[in-house]
Every structure is written in C-alpha cells, then in structure tokens.
Amino acid sequence: MLLTISIIFLFYIIYILYQYFNRTPNISPNGKYIFISGCDTGFGHGLAIKLDKQAIKLDKQGFNVLAGVFTSDNVTSLREKLSSRATVFRLDITKEEDIEAAFQLVKQKTQVLHALVNNAGIVTSGYIDWIQVDTVRQLMNVNFFGHVTMTKRFLPLLIAKPIKLDKQGFNVLAGVFTSDNVTSLREKLSSRATVFRLDITKEEDIEAAFQLVKQKTQVLHALVNNAGIVTSGYIDWIQVDTVRQLMNVNFFGHVTMTKRFLPLLIAKRDSRVINVSSICGFISLPGSTAYCASKCALESFCDCLRREMKPWVEV
C-alpha cells in the first residue's frame, strides 16, 4: 500500500514539474468563437461556462461560446448561466436539418470558427446477444455519424484561418499544392497576401518559397507547417513506397521547411513554429501504421525543436 502511494506521489511530482517547464501558452479569447455540442450536462456544460467566463491578461471578455443543447429545458437553464455573448440553441446531431440550421446560425455570427468541440454522446450497456440492433444503430448515429456530419459541415469555417489572418492585417504567405487552389485562394485574399504553389517534398520548391519570402521580409513572425496526407491499411499489404510518401510529407517535409526558414524566424525573438500534428502521434491505431508513425516522428521533432530553439522561437 505504501509503495502504491509513493508511486502515485512520484508521478504527481513529475506531472507538476512537467506542467511547470512546459507551460501551455495562453490563448487570447478575444473575438474567438467556439462551438460545443452536447452542452446539456457534464463536460460540455462545464466547458461552455468556463470558456464563457475565461479572461486572460487584458482581455475583459471570454470566448464567444456557441452551445448546442439537446433538450429545450436545458437551453433555458444554460442560457441563464452564460453571458450575453453566448448563443445557446437546440441541436440534435442525428438530424441534418438541425446541423444545417446550426451552421447557418454560426455563419451569421462569424466566418471563422476557432474550435469545434464534438461532445454530444450517449451510452448504453449490455451484451451483444440481448441488446437490440436499433440500440447499436442509435449509438452509432450519435457517437460516430453525428460527429462526422458535424465536422464535415463546419470544416469551411474551421479551415478559414488564412482568410481570417489576411483580414486581420497579417501579410499572409500561403503555400498551395495544386494550381487550381492557388487561383481560388488568391481570389479570397487581399492584395497583401501572396499565394504560390508549394510541394514540401521538393527541396527546389522550398528553396523557391524561401527566396520569395525573403524578398518580402527579413523577419518571419510564424511558420505554420500544415501540409499533410493520410492513408490507411495494415502494414502487411500497404506498399513501402506509401509509407515513404507519408513520411516525406508529414515528417521530412516539415523538418525541411522548418530548417530552411529558421534564419528568418530566429531574427525575431517572439516568432513561432506551428506544426499541425494529430492525436495519432500519441495513440497508435490498427490500419494507420504509416500515418501514426509519421505523426509520432513529428511529435518527437516538435519536442526537441521546442527545447533547442527555446531562446528564440516558440514551438
């Protein structure tokens, strides 16, 4: 018993030290909209209240919370607990008309969604030989298909970051893989923005991008390594070339981009590198061998880079 308590205490101390030396940077809630489903009770309910009240440093207001609630009674009770900034509405994520109505409501308020929290869910128990198939179907409709439909519908508001940064006055330098997307994105941005083709697996593309950026500025505020691909398949039937391609894009491409642009980043002490990774960098899933390996490698790279570049660059 004493040994168990000692081990728990040791892990607690390690956790405290980790939190101290790897502090999560504060995110200003100013002007940011967060959509949370399943806010009737539990985690979603508490998160909506906390984010609504959250204030950091000079920000007097919290996040703009968009709370989806399943029952009408809970709409009323939650609305009373939140500020006037928050929007609370009924939402059944198994109904596409509810999701569409929620999307239109959110779109009226903002063109850019900071975060989507798919929290709605139900639980049931029972051995498979006596629960009804309809019960299984209902669980899948809420806990899986509902989340998929929500994510797919709100993706346009989630991936609009370059457009938002451009509207906020940043000089956006956007690398795009296909020529068609170069044209379509260029039409959505101001004359300040620069959109160009970029394949991060080709060093000549990266070098051309570096020279283009260097012509415009000697100091880069942030590098967002967002490019990535995904594939699935058990390791015994996917090709080694597939694994190599994933690693080239999801890992080596990010490493090469970071290394090439570091001279422009370390010229400004509060610059940062943002590598878009995945939960698969921490959790290995069957059928995603190559993808998980690439994201795990990226996570390790980020951890090392954070420590090596601490005096100059945030990672």
pLDDT tens column, 225-257 = 988 888 888 888 888 998 899 899 999 999 999
CB 217 within 8 A of CB 171: yes
Alpha-carbon distance 219 to 198, whole Å?
A: 20
Question: Can you give the pLDDT at residue 282?
Answer: 80
Write the pLDDT tens digit of every residue in 63-79.
889 999 998 888 889 99
Quick check: do 27-158 and 198-309 share a fold?
A: yes
Question: How far are the Cα atoms of 89, 104, 147, 265, 309 from residue 78, in angstroms, in the given order?
Answer: 10, 21, 22, 44, 44
- Percentage of the residues of the chain whose pLDDT score is greater than 90: 19
Question: How far are the Cα atoms of 103, 188, 202, 257, 259 from residue 209, in angstroms, in the given order?
Answer: 36, 21, 11, 10, 13
CB atoms under 10 Å from CB of 237, counted, come to 6
Alpha-carbon distance 83 to 77, whole Å?
A: 12
Question: Can you give the pLDDT at residue 168?
Answer: 67
Domain 27-158 belongs in CATH node 1.10.274.10? no
Question: Can you give the pLDDT at residue 161?
Answer: 66
- Strand locations in the chain, DSSP E? 33-36, 64-69, 87-90, 115-117, 173-176, 194-197, 222-225, 271-275, 313-314
Question: Can you give the pLDDT at residue 92?
Answer: 93
Provide the CATH topology of domain 198-309. Rossmann fold (3.40.50)
Question: Can you give the pLDDT at residue 56?
Answer: 47
Question: What confidence tier does 21 reach under pLDDT thresholds 50, 70, 90?
Answer: low
Average pLDDT over residues 30-54: 86
Structure tokens at 23: 């502090």
Annotated domain spans of the chain: 27-158, 198-309
Kindly state the DSSP code that residue 37 receives in the 8-state scheme: S
Only one residue has tokens 């642009």, namely 261
Average pLDDT across the chain, whole number = 83
Question: What confidence tier does 57 reach under pLDDT thresholds 50, 70, 90?
Answer: very low
